[in-house]
Amino acid sequence: MILRGVDRRAVLGASAVGAVILTLCCALPSAGLPLTYVRLALIALAGATAFVLDEPAAAAVAAVPVPLSHRTAVRLLAVALPSGVWAGGVAALTLRHPAAPVRGLLVEGVGVLAVALAGAALLRLAGRDEPGELVASVLGAALLAVLLFDPPPHSVPLFPAASGWAASTLLWAGLATGAGIVVAAASIDTGRRVTEELQVAAVWAMLGR
């Protein structure tokens, strides 16, 4: 039931865009690994992930005595779609480009998707029922700017090309870990929230008699 509340149009649509870009990267002839286009696909997948925590029917959801932590855990299942698209795309790229940095790309993808999810979790904690559009827009613009302009420090690049993969992988692993902690912390039911949910549960129990 909780998964039905996920904005499937946004998640499926953005994931499909990412999948199409990755497919073109694998199918079209290229002298080297088309990292710029590959990362454009990752930006689309980050957008898909940002919509996972949206609650279009927030009023109806609030009336159901289900803890926020449980709702978040169930909704995280939807992240399997953009994650699977990225992992499948990286695997397919290695068939065309055997020297592709598989581990670096996989960790980079996990980090980007985790940051998108953390941003959505923080905005939801702040009271925004549908944080996906804002997170997808801001994060997408930021990642695109980094991708196009390659700002310093170049010793630890967010999106490495020929060198810097080890430092970048370590950075994205750290960001993914921090983002995971943020999502978990932002999904903890506060005392007030738990009390409200218990009151709603009591009302539902009384109505059921």
Q: Which pTM was predicted?
A: 0.85
Alpha-helical regions (H) of 28-75: 35-50, 58-62, 68-75
Token digits for 185? 């912390």
Q: Collapsing DSSP states into helix, strand and coil, what is residue 190?
A: coil
pLDDT of residue 208: 54
Question: Does residue 65 contact residue 198 with C-beta atoms inside 8 Å?
Answer: yes
Per-residue pLDDT at 192: 44
- Domain chopping of the chain, boundaries: 3-208
Do residues 128 and 54 touch, judged by C-beta distance below 8 A?
A: no
pLDDT value at position 59? Answer: 46
pLDDT in tens, 189-202: 764 444 444 444 44
Q: Quote the tokens at residue 115.
A: 């940051």
Write the pLDDT tens digit of every residue in 106-147.
999 999 999 999 999 999 999 888 999 999 999 999 999 999
For the chain, residues with pLDDT lower than 50 are: 1-2, 58-60, 63, 191-204
Q: List own/partner pairs for 105-108 with CB under 8 A and 24 or more apart.
A: 105/38, 107/169, 107/172, 107/173, 107/176, 108/42, 108/159, 108/168, 108/169, 108/172
Q: What tokens were used for 207?
A: 């109505």
